[in-house]
């Protein structure tokens, strides 16, 4: 057991950009036409409430926007917005708006046949850039007409991971730069209020791509509204059967990688201070990464969320739910899916990490303490914080928090760890049913909620001391607030609980 002590200075102020609820990822947009998808999103929105949602496939054939036809020997184009309207209507009903990722390529507009994923998103450049930009602008015109001027505030990102050959034919850098330039200029000419970002890279040669992209923009006189990139934190996985097993990378190394992007952007006078959006982040980058379902994932991401805002304006977790088909329809309930929520609206431990950070944001934005294992905020009547334990050598961490005060306080803790909030273990213990019955789903869900505990703490010698236990791979959310007792006439709690 490792003991630790936190002394809170109420006058201390620490920079802390807690933008946890700005955006969340989703599988291809076409999945928003399914019932289970919308149920999971409704649950996530009710409990957390993200502002934006980003997913692939806006222009893929299953959404069916772009169509060519022959008339009088001439090839003509028409657009169909039936599905995208239905999708965005559903989003708005749930209080979330699209972060418009422009991709992939409609089959009839594509220059080649290369596709990615089970659902065959085409990842080749357009055969005609004018038809591409016409399609983009026609969509924005339609969206503005249908949803009003607020559409101009919806973020736009040009393509997804063009530095990977599977996502952009041959990872052709110059061809991507052409796509960005043509798209950026067309959008800005239509309505300069739209905010357009790129290059949406992931992993491979990230520094080379960021530098080349910024140099290209400088040379061409372009000023993107933000720089976008992705952030995953595991080594190359081992595939066994249907599943991917990965080792987590060192947190400091991953934060340093993010800082390097900030430094590159700021090294250009033209782009210094330009916002950076992590339009995808998670631990494993595969939809069968078994770590996603675990408590260690929740604890590791607690540390990530405490610092992602240091160099990035926004960061979007990939993804909100397990309705996802990149490598096919999931084979089992717990299959390592990206989602923070499993089928049947079973919240995974990671869901609570995000929920806790949202509660922290609602409590206060005045950060008074932050280290590698804790973040604490303050308001007039007390404190709120998140503690986590991802040190593999320590089974239990005891933290003593001291506040100078003479009042009585109420300490409330919500604990997520392998002992008290571990639906994966219950699923395993009952035999790992791939397709659980309704009764089994409800049983598993009953093991997916934090343990809530409370106690009253009285000051001793002008100091309020609260001791909080964080078990291995645990995340604890707490509030320590001044207590006001307002008992009704004749009510004696001590007598009630000792009555025989």
- Assess contact for 379 and 364: CB atoms under 8 A: yes
Distance, in Å, from the CA atom of 400 to the CA atom of 373, rounded to the nearest integer, reads 13
Nearest Cα to Cα of residue 106 among 86, 148, 136, 82: 136
- What is the DSSP track for 359-415? HHHHH-S-EEEEETTEEEEEETTEEEEEEEE--TT-SEEEEEEEEE--S-EEEEEEE
Distance, in Å, from the CA atom of 315 to the CA atom of 496, rounded to the nearest integer, reads 49
Angle CA 53–58–59, to nearest 5: 170
Nearest Cα to Cα of residue 293 among 385, 428, 437, 386: 428
Distance, in Å, from the CA atom of 37 to the CA atom of 86, rounded to the nearest integer, reads 14
Nearest Cα to Cα of residue 87 among 153, 134, 28: 28
149 catalytic per annotation: no
Cα dihedral 125, 321, 248, 117 in deg (nearest 10): -30
Q: Where are the beta strands (DSSP E) in 96-252?
A: 97-98, 100-102, 115-116, 121-122, 156-158, 196-201, 226-232, 238-240, 243-245
Q: In angstroms, what CA-CA distances link 64 with 61, 132, 147, 173, 362? A: 5, 15, 20, 28, 40
Give the distance between the most distant pair of CA atoms in the chain: 93
Edge-first strand listing for the sheet containing 409-416: 367-371, 374-379, 382-389, 474-482, 409-416, 451-457
Residue 111: is it exposed, middle or buried by C-beta count within 10 angstroms (0-12/13-18/19+)?
A: middle
In 54-122, alpha helices (H): 82-93
Q: How far apart are the first and last CA of the chain?
A: 39
Catalytic residue, from 40, 101, 161, 280: name it: 161
CA–chain centroid gap for 53, Å, is 9
Residues assigned a catalytic role: 161
């Amino acid at each position: 057991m490792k003991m630790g002590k936190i002394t809170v200075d109420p006058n201390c102020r620490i920079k802390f950009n807690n933008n946890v609820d700005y955006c969340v990822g989703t599988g291809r947009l076409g999945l928003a036409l399914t019932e289970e998808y919308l149920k999971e999103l409704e649950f996530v929105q009710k409990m957390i409430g993200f502002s934006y949602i980003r997913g692939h496939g806006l222009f893929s054939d299953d959404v069916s926007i772009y169509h060519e036809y022959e008339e009088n020997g001439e090839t003509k184009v028409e657009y169909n917005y039936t599905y995208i309207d239905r999708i965005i209507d559903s989003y708005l009903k749930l209080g979330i708006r699209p972060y418009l990722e422009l991709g992939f390529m409609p089959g009839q507009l594509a220059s080649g046949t290369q596709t990615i994923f089970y659902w065959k998103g085409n990842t080749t450049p357009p055969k005609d850039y004018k038809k591409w930009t016409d399609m983009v602008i026609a969509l924005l015109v339609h969206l503005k007409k249908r949803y009003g001027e607020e559409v101009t505030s919806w973020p736009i990102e040009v393509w997804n991971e063009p530095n990977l050959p599977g996502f952009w034919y041959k990872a052709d850098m110059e061809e991507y730069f052409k796509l960005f330039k043509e798209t950026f200029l067309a959008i800005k000419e239509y309505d300069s209020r739209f905010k357009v970002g790129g290059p949406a890279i992931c992993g491979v040669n990230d520094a080379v791509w960021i530098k080349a992209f910024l140099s290209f923009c400088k040379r061409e006189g372009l000023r993107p509204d933000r720089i976008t990139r992705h952030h995953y934190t595991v080594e190359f996985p081992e595939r066994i059967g249907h599943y991917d097993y990965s080792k987590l990378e060192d947190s400091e190394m991953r934060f340093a990688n993010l800082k390097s992007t900030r430094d590159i952007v700021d090294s250009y006078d033209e782009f210094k201070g330009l916002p950076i959006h992590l339009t995808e982040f998670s631990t494993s980058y595969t939809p069968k990464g078994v770590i996603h379902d675990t408590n260690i994932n929740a604890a590791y991401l607690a540390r990530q969320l405490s610092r992602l805002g240091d160099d990035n304006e926004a960061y979007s977790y990939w993804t909100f739910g397990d309705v996802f088909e990149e490598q096919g329809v999931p084979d089992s309930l717990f299959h390592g899916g990206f989602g923070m929520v499993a089928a049947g609206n079973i919240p995974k431990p990671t869901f609570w990490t995000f929920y806790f950070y949202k509660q922290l944001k609602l409590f206060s934005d005045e950060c008074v303490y932050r280290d590698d294992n804790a973040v604490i905020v303050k308001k007039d009547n007390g404190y709120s914080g998140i503690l986590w334990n991802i040190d593999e050598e320590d089974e239990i961490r005891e933290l003593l928090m001291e506040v100078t005060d003479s009042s009585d306080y109420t300490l409330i803790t919500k604990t997520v760890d392998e002992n008290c909030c571990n639906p994966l273990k219950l699923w395993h213990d009952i035999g790992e049913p791939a397709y659980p019955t309704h009764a089994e789903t409800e049983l598993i869900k009953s093991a997916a909620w934090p343990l809530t505990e409370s106690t009253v703490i009285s000051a001793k010698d002008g100091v309020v001391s609260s001791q909080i236990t964080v078990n291995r791979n645990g995340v604890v959310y707490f509030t320590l607030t001044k207590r006001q007792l307002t008992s009704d006439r004749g009510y004696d709690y001590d007598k009630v609980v000792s009555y025989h």
